[in-house]
Amino acid sequence: MQNQRILVTGGAGFIGSNFANTLAEDNGVIALDDGYLGTPENLNDDVEFVNASVLDDDLPTNVDIVVHLAALSSYQMHEDNPTKGARVNIEGFVNTVEQARDDGCDTVVYATTSSIYGSRTEPSPEDMAVETNTGYEASKLARERYAEYFANHYDMNMAGLRFFSVYQGYGGAEEHKGEYANVIAQFADDMANGEQPVLYGDGTQTRDFTHVDDIVRGIEMTAEKKLTGVYNLGTGQRYSFNTVVEMLNDELGTDIEPAYIENPIPESVYVYDTCADASKIKEEAGWEPEINFEEGIRQVCAQYQ
């Protein structure tokens, strides 16, 4: 993608800054962030940073493409303040898209969530029946419905991406997320510092871990194709937390056993297994993951060696 004006909300956060920094080489990129989960330190000098909230008026939406990633992005954040979660994730989305529409922008790519699939060991397709068990999931499904409205009523290109367990490691912008960082980053940092990684339950839960570089490519390709609909971004493979610890031990040259604790998240809402069926995005945009899990683990551990 070249010579486009792009607004990235949540642009100083983990995924947002990776996307903004990558696209800023050939495009004019604005990263908008209120500092809740992001920091301008994550951004390269050629990215324009705007300190603002998606709930504000007069957003810098006079662009060709909006990539809307701003959100309260976890179950616990929503439980701490459900009203704030709904305002940021739903009202903030509608506010941003409406301002973009008024400014003549017709292409929006936005983050929804793969959590709505619940616990599944089989690959989850976008058209399967889903239900919401958390305020976080409800807010992201509301985004999808509002996106459908903007697409149908105003003929906008509205693509929702359901990300699967995105990771990079503390060598990148993920470090700023701290306790909200992917478990791979947290486990690797603990183990590299001689500490036991803490696993919920027995560690047999699995995730479809997807490297942030593949996510960035998926967002870019979706925007370029001006897609409309909902799409999974994941690898279609899953690994248990126990396996992650084994692989990190191998790569770091350590021999550290995990510490197992009782899961503090209610069983009714905890997702034990995730796995993406990404055939739709492959067919419509040509996207498929390029970084296999072994290489991803190597990249996470490289900073410690």
- Kindly compute the dihedral angle of the four CA atoms of residues 44, 48, 54, 55, in this order, to the nearest 10 degrees: 140
C-alpha–C-alpha distance, residues 30 and 5, integer Å: 8
Mode of pairing for the β-strands spanning 206-207 and 157-163: unpaired
In the set 110, 117, 136, 146, the catalytic residue is 136
Region for residue 51 given its phi and psi (left: phi exceeds 0; alpha: psi -120 to 50; beta: otherwise): beta
Structure-block tokens of residue 139: 């807010």
Farthest CA pair distance, the chain: 58
In the residue annotation, 146 being an active-site residue is answered as no
Q: 88: how many CB neighbours lie within 10 A of its CB?
A: 25
Name the H helices within the chain. 14-23, 75-80, 82-86, 92-102, 135-154, 183-192, 212-225, 241-252, 279-285, 293-301
Q: How many CA atoms lie within 13 A of 28 on its CB side?
A: 8
- State the catalytic residues: 136
